[in-house]
Amino acid sequence: MEIIEKGTKIQPNERVYVMKCRVCGCKFTYKIKNIEWSYGGEEIIMCPQCNNYIGVPFIIRKYKGG
66: amino acid identity, one letter? G
What is the pTM (predicted TM-score) of this model?
A: 0.67
Specify the pLDDT at position 32: 85
Specify the pLDDT at position 50: 92
Q: Residues of the chain with pLDDT > 90: what percent?
A: 18
Res 55 pLDDT > 80:
yes
- C-alpha count within 13 angstroms, C-beta hemisphere, residue 31: 7
Per-residue pLDDT, averaged over 16-28, amounts to: 89
The pLDDT tens digits of the residues spanning 40-50 come to 888 899 999 99
Q: Average per-residue pLDDT in the chain? A: 81
